[in-house]
Structure 1
C-alpha cells in the first residue's frame, strides 16, 4: 500500500503562519498536520505502508524534505519527494508523482485530519471518503445509486444531490488506472477552473464501469484558515485526551501555574504565574509569564507576557506583550 500526499500549496488562507512554514507542517496538538494525516490513514488502513510520496513545491527546501522523509520512515515506509512548481490543480499534482502510481494507494490532501474506523471494500475499484455536512452546497458531494455506489461527483450543487461531502481522501485498488485516466486528461487538455482536476480522471473511470463506493469518516477537521485550525487543534486535543495520551512533557517547567486539560505542553515549555487551557497547544521552548490562555495554538520558542488570550494562533519565535485577546501572529513577530 502507498500513500500519495499532494501538498505543494503554501496555504495563503493561513497567512502569516505559512509565510515561513508550509501549511501541512503547521503543528496541531503538538504534531505537524501532515504527520497526523499520514499516521491516521495508516491506522485506518491497518496494513503495511510501503511508500509515502509527498508532492511539494521545490522552494520548501531541504529541511522540509528531510522532515517528510522522517514521517514516512516512522511508519516503516519509504519516503519519496516529488515537485509541483506550478499550481495546475489536483490532477496535475498527482501526476507529478506518476513514478509512484502503481498498485493499491491512498491519495490524501494534506490540509485535513480525520478520525475513522473503516474497513476497505475489497470488491470496489475505489473508495472516496465522505462526511455528512449541513451545507452541502458549499462542497463537492457524491450521488449514490440504490446499491450505495457512487455514480456522480457534483461540485457545489445548487440543487440538493446529497449531504455527503468529499473530504479529499481516496483509495484506489490499482492507482495506475487513475494515472492512465489523468494522463488522458492532461493530453486532451481537459481543464476546469483553469486547472487539471482529479475528478475528471475519476469520472472517466466511472464511465468505464469501475465501481466506486463511499467510506464515511467519524470526524473531518479542516486546517484551511486560522479560526478552523484553532478549532481543529481543540478537537484533536480532546480526542487525544480521551484516548489517554500523555500530552504534557516531563521537561516542562511549571511555576505557580494551572493547566486545565486538554492541553499539549511541549518540551522545555516554561509557565510562570499562568493559567493554560482548556484546548491549548504550546510548542517546544515556549515561555508564558502572567498569561491566561485558552482555545489557542502557540508554536515553538514563543515568548508571551501579561496577556489574556482566546482563539489565538502564535507563530515560532514570536514575542507578545499586550492586551488583545484574539490574535494571529506569524513567525518572528514582536508585539511589545
Structure 2
C-alpha cells in the first residue's frame, strides 16, 4: 500500500520555531518528526510514499532525498498555494489507483497499519478515519440558564470526545469528491461524503497518538523513550 504524507502546512501553532523549520522537521529529541513517521511506515511494510510540500518544502526534500536511506521510494508534489489537508492529493490521482493512506506530517503513533487497513477493507467504506479519545478541559466556567436565570454552573468542566488522528485509509473512488488544485480540507470531504450518503468509517486506536503541532504534545514527546528497539509499551509509559 502507498502512503501520502501531508507536509505543506506552515505550522503556525509552533511559531516562532517554524519560521525557520517546517513543522515535519521539528526535532523530537535528536530526530525530526518526519523521519520517525517514515520509519514507522517502513516498519509497517510501506515502501512507497508521496510527500506533499509547500512552505519550506526545499528543506524537506533536502533532508529526505529519494528515500533510499530508509529503503523506500519517495516522490514529492509542490503546492503553489495552500490546498488544505486533502486538496494536495488531487495531484496524485493517476498514482493512487488502489487502497492508500493519507497521514498528517506531524503525527506520532504506534497504530497498527495492518489492523487499520483490515478494518477499512471489511467496512466497505470509501474513507476510514483513525480516531482516539481525548479529554478537553474548558478554561472557563460554563453556565446553563433558562429565561436569564442560572440553572447550573460548572467550573472548567472536562469533555471526552472522539478525535481524528489525522490518519486516513482511502479508496481511489474518493477522487470523485475532491476538486482539482483548490483548497479542500478533510472537513470538506467528510461533509461531502455524508451529504451524498457515502460510508465514512472510524477505527478506534487506544495506544500512542501525539499531534506534534500542539505545543503540549510536542513537549510531551520530548520526555518519551523513542528507542526503536524498545517494545511499544515502554515507549508509551509516560503518556497520560
TM-score, normalised to structure 1, is 0.53
Whole-Å Cα distance in 2 between the matches of residues 181 and 74 of structure 1? 36
Deviation sequence 1:189-227 (CA, Å, 0-9, x none): 8xxxxx522233344445344352324140111222555
Shift of 1:5: 1.0
Does residue 212 of structure 1 match 2:201?
yes
1:65 alignment partner, one of 56, 61, 68 = 61
Deviation sequence 1:221-265 (CA, Å, 0-9, x none): 122255531221213x2x5388179xxxxxxxxxxxxxxxx9xxx
Shift of 1:57: 1.3
Shift of 1:163: 2.0
Whole-Å Cα distance in 1 between the matches of residues 190 and 137 of structure 2? 20
Whole-Å Cα distance in 1 between the matches of residues 216 and 55 of structure 2? 28
Residue 53 of structure 2 aligns with which residue?
Answer: 56
Residue 180 of structure 1 aligns with which residue?
Answer: 176
1:95 alignment partner, one of 90, 97, 110 = 90
When residues 68 and 180 of structure 1 are mapped into structure 2, their CA distance, relative to the original with a 3 A threshold, is farther
| Structure showing greater relative contact order (alpha-carbon pairs closer than 8 Å, 6 or more residues apart) | 2
Whole-Å Cα distance in 2 between the matches of residues 32 and 68 of structure 1? 11
Name the Cα RMSD after superposition: 3.4
Shift of 1:162: 7.0
Whole-Å Cα distance in 2 between the matches of residues 13 and 135 of structure 1? 18
TM-score, normalised to structure 2, is 0.72
* 1:151-166 matched pairs, under 5 angstroms: 163-166=161-164
Q: Give the structure with the larger helix fraction.
A: 2
Deviation sequence 1:162-194 (CA, Å, 0-9, x none): 72110110012x2x21222112xx59x8xxxxx
SS in 2 for 1:133: strand
When residues 197 and 88 of structure 1 are mapped into structure 2, their CA distance, relative to the original with a 3 A threshold, is same
Whole-Å Cα distance in 1 between the matches of residues 55 and 169 of structure 2? 26
Whole-Å Cα distance in 2 between the matches of residues 105 and 116 of structure 1? 16
SS in 1 for 2:86: helix
When residues 223 and 105 of structure 1 are mapped into structure 2, their CA distance, relative to the original with a 3 A threshold, is same
* 1:1-336 matched pairs, under 5 angstroms: 1-43=1-43, 46-47=44-45, 49-57=46-54, 59-61=56-58, 63-70=59-66, 72-117=67-112, 119=115, 120=117, 121=119, 122-124=121-123, 125=125, 126-135=127-136, 163-172=161-170, 174=171, 176-183=172-179, 195-206=183-194, 207-210=196-199, 212-235=201-224, 237=225, 239-240=226-227, 243=230
When residues 242 and 77 of structure 1 are mapped into structure 2, their CA distance, relative to the original with a 3 A threshold, is closer
How many residues matched?
209
Whole-Å Cα distance in 2 between the matches of residues 241 and 177 of structure 1? 36
